[in-house]
A and B are shown apart, each in its own frame.
Chain A
Amino acid sequence: AQTVTQSQPEMSVQEAETVTLSCTYDTSESDYYLFWYKQPPSRQMILVIRQEAYKQQNATENRFSVNFQKAAKSFSLKISDSQLGDAAMYFCAYRAGTYKYIFGTGTRLKVLA
């Protein structure tokens, strides 16, 4: 069965610094997609970044980038130049074939001024 694990319940980062959120997953599939979603207090889940498993190149979106290690089944999110607005819950998610998204339990990110 596919599982997604986020081992850091909470992380803190100083404003303007860099932080990395960890995610590991378990799957026997070779073709799948991985996502990071941000959930601020407004509760709306917002897509931050996505990665196709068949792509070697790590995805980047402005200050957000991932370190995708397919063999290790690791998918970490790096946030550079952290801003106060980055404070939120971050969820890692996996999807393959017709399977539903499987979400991790989330990491709460605090940004310190």
Chain B
Amino acid sequence: EAGVAQSPRYKIIEKRQSVAFWCNPISGHATLYWYQQILGQGPKLLIQFQNNGVVDDSQLPKDRFSAERLKGVDSTLKIQPAKLEDSAVYLCASSLAGGWNGYTFGSGTRLTVV
């Protein structure tokens, strides 16, 4: 089966600019996750979708981050305006409902804010 696709792979922007990341999960996976991984740390969940509804966005900085999952398939994560501390790898993952068998992750987008 095809894996979780993410783009772009790398992105460099100046602070206060906006940026968007795209994720295409594995076909049939109802649950989609966006994680932020700052260098030297473990991934931290930003938002979790079940189909096209939000299950958990408690750690999403909603003043600058937004995400959507149209038609319960693809998802985009946007940052506007970006801050220096947003420099990180943004990982998308998907799973069957519940995720008890583990998640399938994409290769992530490395964002550098200068």
Interface string of B21-38 (1 = CB under 8 A from A): 000000000000100000
Please report which residues of chain A, range 71-100, place their CB below 8 angstroms from some CB of chain B when the two chains form the complex. 91, 93, 95, 98, 100
Taken together as a complex, chains A and B put the C-alpha atoms of A62 and B59 apart, in Å, by 36
Stretch of B64-72, B73-81, B97-105 lying at the A interface: B97-105
Taken together as a complex, chains A and B put the C-alpha atoms of A47 and B102 apart, in Å, by 7
Q: Is the CB of B107 within 8 A of A50?
A: no
Q: Is the CB of B40 within 8 A of A105?
A: yes
Q: When the two chains form the complex, which single residue of B40, B41, B91 contacts A45, counting CB atoms closer than 8 Å? A: B91
Q: Is the CB of B42 within 8 A of A95?
A: no
A102 to chain B, nearest CB (A): 8
B113 to chain A, nearest CB (A): 18
- What's the count of A-B pairs with C-beta under 8 Å? 50
- A44 located at the interface, meaning its Cβ lies under 8 Å from any Cβ of chain B in the complex: yes
Q: Is the CB of B103 within 8 A of A47?
A: yes
Given A43-B89, A43-B110: A103 in contact with B42 (beta carbons within 8 A):
yes
Contacts of B104 in A (CB 8 A): 47
User: Across the two chains, which residue of chain B brings its CB closest to A93?
Assistant: B42
- A64 located at the interface, meaning its Cβ lies under 8 Å from any Cβ of chain B in the complex: no
Q: Is the CB of A91 within 8 A of B91?
A: no
Q: How many residues of A contact B (CB 8 A)?
A: 21
Q: How many residues of B contact A (CB 8 A)?
A: 25
Q: Is the CB of A106 within 8 A of B102?
A: no
Q: Is the CB of A104 within 8 A of B42?
A: yes
Contacts of A68 in B (CB 8 A): none
Q: Is the CB of A44 within 8 A of B108?
A: yes
B108 to chain A, nearest CB (A): 4
What are the nearest 6 A-B pairs in CB distance? A103-B42, A45-B105, A47-B102, A100-B45, A43-B108, A44-B107
Q: Can you sample 24 A-B contacts with CB below 8 Å?
A: A4-B42, A33-B100, A35-B102, A43-B91, A43-B107, A44-B3, A44-B105, A44-B107, A44-B108, A45-B43, A45-B93, A45-B103, A47-B102, A50-B102, A95-B99, A95-B100, A100-B33, A100-B56, A101-B43, A101-B45, A105-B41, A105-B42, A106-B41, A106-B42
